């Protein structure tokens, strides 16, 4: 067979017109004894050669056009058309070989025969919920759904129990239904339960589907993303995905128009419908999570309000607002105050010490005013005593956390690491931070009778520590914040030289907090419980080592104290941006040497 080139068509194979006997005898040029039999194989090979030549010719032409386009800097010719034409030639080859057109070549040449990526199967979104698919029973689903609304909805305040019922959520959104059941299971059974692991795999697929497929946005998908972001590590990414979905729904514009109408008094005669408040609640829940992750998690803020957040107080008087809405709006307003005060403190840190002190004092006045005003609003708008108790404790804890973070931000912005070298003003800031941290720990361990001033016997008829009783429903931030506060209380007590009885008292409080978590049936967030346990043990070793050093009159830094000062869990450095973890106390002995020289002169 002749070699096929891309410039000239192949020569046809010569087919003899006489049989072998006649050609051998040379007596005739045509066969008179045999009927000519057409060679089917030769014909098929001829068609194959012709098809291959045509294919090579098209490829050469395409390369020439592409090269000329690059040289002229003009638009590149669409290669898809050439590939489709080439596919036709390959189909001709398959037909010539007796194969079904397009079958064998598509297995051998997927890049040419499948330009639309049909060789890959993209997973379709899940359609059935975890009950319909048979993963769990309907009874278990109802139990875990109710568990979520027993406390988790307080930490993700974007739901209303009168609207988001079991049947309603299941009918409206498969994704939201599965998410609520999953994290209700986590709160009830713990993060190590097999049921939670199975359900969490389903939730991960749902989140992947929302990200992968350009599905229609809905309020339920935003709610589901907020729940997963609050109870999972990659919260910052999921929070921004939820924001993207809310932008598709035009939620910011909806909230702005609604608040403006309330401010103008348009709804005074016509009370707002419950459904009018749902998008408002969901969007402010998104604002709150973005605030927390930006202030305490190091995430760049994805949104900022054009007007003061005090406008949310217009929503308190609405008849369809839920008790959880008070918690939501109070935190949104608090976090805006925090963001403003932190920016002011960082700006004043480079100025004189008096300027920094004045900025801190003004920020604390704003935070105290916020606490007083919202305590009054709670008592005016909540009638159930248990709700008042829980809300009051949470309000005071949030205030203590804001003051603590403010003081630590100021200390860090001042460039302070070693508390042995601080100025008098910086020492005042560090003492204020310690007081706020101790206040936070005291409130976490607060009993019910401590809030209403009743007799201690009242403990027998009410849960003893309302905050710990509900902490198993807490989000990732809640556990991280509490573990950090225990660590900073104990560390500042040692670094600032508290008397031994005071240090032992705080150490006992930390142990009581661990015991309270155990009695509350706390089985989730094992990582942060481990941090708490390690903090207590390291502090105990540091106190014991300090006592031994004092008894032996040693002035050098002991091993136990150094180990406790250097204890910085990676969760606090990689997942959260908590200030003050770099604080230490390292006395410099050479300073005393210089002082002795000066005394000798």
Q: What pLDDT digit, counting tens, does each position of 477-521 carry? A: 999 999 999 999 999 999 998 999 999 999 999 999 988 887 776
Q: Which residue has the higher pLDDT, 331 or 309?
A: 331
Two structure tokens written together for 441: 């720990």
Q: Which of 397, 390, 349 is nearest to 371 (CA)?
A: 397
In this prediction, residue 96 carries a pLDDT of 44
In this prediction, residue 449 carries a pLDDT of 55
Q: Global pTM?
A: 0.75
What is the distance between the alpha carbons of residues 105 and 90, in angstroms, rounded to a whole number? Answer: 7
Q: Is the pLDDT of residue 76 over 60?
A: no
**Residue 173 · residue 209 · CB < 8 Å:** no
pLDDT in tens, 179-211: 999 999 999 888 888 999 999 999 999 999 888
pLDDT average, residue stretch 530-541: 90
Q: Which residue has the tokens 């300090």?
A: 546
Q: Which of 493, 454, 514, 471 is nearest to 583 (CA)?
A: 493
Q: Which of 241, 207, 224, 249 is nearest to 170 (CA)?
A: 224
- The backbone torsions φ and ψ at residue 552, rounded to the nearest 5 degrees and listed phi first, read -95, 5
pLDDT in tens, 234-290: 689 999 999 999 999 999 999 988 888 887 765 544 545 667 789 999 999 999 999
pLDDT average, residue stretch 80-90: 42
Instruction: Please tell me the number of Cα atoms within 13 Å of 112 on its side-chain side.
Output: 19
The beta strand positions in 260-332, using DSSP E, are none
Q: Which residue has the tokens 């689903």?
A: 141
What is the distance between the alpha carbons of residues 252 and 280, in angstroms, rounded to a whole number? Answer: 9
Q: Which of 11, 10, 30, 12 is nearest to 21 (CA)?
A: 30
Residue-wise DSSP of 437-469: HHHHHHHHT--HHHHH---GGGGGGS-S-HHHH
What is the distance between the alpha carbons of residues 228 and 145, in angstroms, rounded to a whole number? Answer: 15
**Residue 472 · residue 151 · CB < 8 Å:** yes
In three-state secondary structure terms, 418 is strand
In this prediction, residue 229 carries a pLDDT of 95
pLDDT in tens, 6-65: 455 555 556 555 555 566 555 555 555 444 455 666 677 778 778 888 878 887 777 777
pLDDT average, residue stretch 401-429: 91
What is the distance between the alpha carbons of residues 391 and 29, in angstroms, rounded to a whole number? Answer: 113
Distances 202 to 50, 133, 205 between C-alpha atoms, Å: 55, 11, 5
In this prediction, residue 461 carries a pLDDT of 37
**Residue 409 · residue 342 · CB < 8 Å:** yes
pLDDT band at 230 (very low <50, low <70, confident <90, very high): very high
Q: Is the pLDDT of residue 82 over 50?
A: no
In this prediction, residue 253 carries a pLDDT of 92
What percentage of the chain has pLDDT greater than the value 90?
41
Helices (H) and strands (E) in the chain, counts: 26, 0
Average pLDDT, the chain: 79
Helix (H) or strand (E) run with residue 338 in it: helix 323-348
Cβ-based neighbours of 338, under 8 Å, separated by 6 or more: 291, 295, 402, 405, 406
């Amino acid at each position: 067979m002749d070699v096929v080139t891309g410039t000239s068509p192949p020569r046809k194979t010569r087919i003899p017109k006489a049989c072998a006997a006649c050609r051998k005898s040379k007596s005739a040029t045509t066969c008179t004894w045999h009927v000519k039999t057409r060679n089917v194989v030769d014909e098929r090979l001829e068609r194959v050669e012709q098809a291959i030549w045509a294919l090579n010719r098209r490829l050469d032409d395409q390369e020439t056009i592409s090269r000329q386009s690059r040289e002229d800097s003009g638009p590149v010719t669409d290669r898809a058309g050439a590939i489709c034409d080439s596919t036709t030639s390959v189909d001709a080859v398959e037909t010539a070989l007796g194969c079904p057109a397009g079958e064998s070549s598509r297995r051998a040449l997927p890049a040419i025969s499948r330009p639309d990526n049909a060789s890959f199967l993209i997973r379709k979104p899940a359609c059935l919920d975890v009950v319909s698919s048979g993963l769990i029973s309907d009874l278990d689903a109802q139990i875990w759904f109710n568990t979520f609304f027993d406390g988790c909805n307080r930490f993700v305040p974007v739901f209303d129990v009168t609207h988001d019922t079991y049947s309603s959520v299941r009918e409206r959104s498969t994704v939201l239904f599965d998410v609520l059941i999953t994290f209700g299971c986590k709160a009830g059974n713990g993060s190590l339960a097999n049921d939670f692991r199975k359900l969490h795999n389903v939730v991960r697929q749902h989140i992947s589907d929302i990200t992968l497929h350009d599905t229609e946005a809905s309020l339920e998908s935003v709610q589901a993303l907020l729940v997963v972001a609050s109870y999972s590590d990659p919260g910052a990414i999921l929070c921004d995905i939820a924001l993207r979905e809310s932008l598709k729904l035009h939620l910011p514009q909806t909230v702005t128009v609604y608040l403006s109408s309330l401010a103008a008094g348009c709804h005074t005669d016509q009370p707002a419908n419950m459904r009018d408040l749902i998008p408002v609640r969901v969007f402010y829940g998104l604002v709150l999570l973005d605030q927390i992750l930006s202030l305490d998690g190091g995430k760049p803020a994805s949104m900022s309000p054009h007007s003061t957040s005090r406008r949310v107080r217009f929503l308190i008087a609405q008849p369809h607002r839920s008790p959880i809405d008070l918690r939501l709006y109070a935190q949104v307003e608090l976090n805006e105050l925090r963001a403003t005060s932190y920016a002011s403190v960082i700006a004043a840190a480079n100025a004189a010490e008096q300027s920094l002190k004045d900025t801190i004092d003004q920020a604390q006045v704003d935070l105290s005013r916020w606490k007083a005003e919202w305590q009054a609003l709670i008592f005016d708008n909540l009638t159930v005593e248990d709700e008042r108790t829980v809300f009051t404790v949470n309000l005071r804890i949030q205030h203590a956390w804001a003051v603590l973070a403010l003081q630590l931000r100021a200390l860090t912005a001042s460039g302070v690491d070693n508390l042995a070298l601080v100025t008098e003003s910086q020492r005042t800031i560090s003492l204020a931070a310690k007081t706020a941290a101790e206040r936070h720990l005291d409130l976490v361990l607060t009993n019910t009778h401590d809030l209403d001033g009743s007799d201690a016997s009242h403990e027998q008829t009410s849960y003893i520590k309302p905050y710990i009783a509900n902490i198993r429903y807490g989000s990732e931030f809640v556990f991280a914040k509490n573990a950090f506060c225990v660590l900073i209380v104990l560390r500042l007590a040692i670094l600032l030289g508290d008397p031994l009885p005071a240090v032992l008292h705080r150490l006992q409080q930390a142990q009581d907090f661990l015991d309270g978590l155990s009695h509350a049936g706390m089985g989730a967030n094992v990582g942060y419980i481990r941090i708490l346990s390690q903090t207590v043990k390291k502090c105990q070793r540091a106190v014991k080592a300090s006592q031994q050093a004092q008894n032996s009159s040693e002035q050098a830094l002991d091993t136990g104290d150094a180990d406790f000062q250097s204890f910085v869990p990676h969760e606090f450095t990689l997942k959260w941006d908590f200030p003050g973890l770099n604080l230490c106390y390292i006395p410099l002995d050479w300073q005393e040497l210089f002082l002795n020289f000066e005394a000798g002169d």
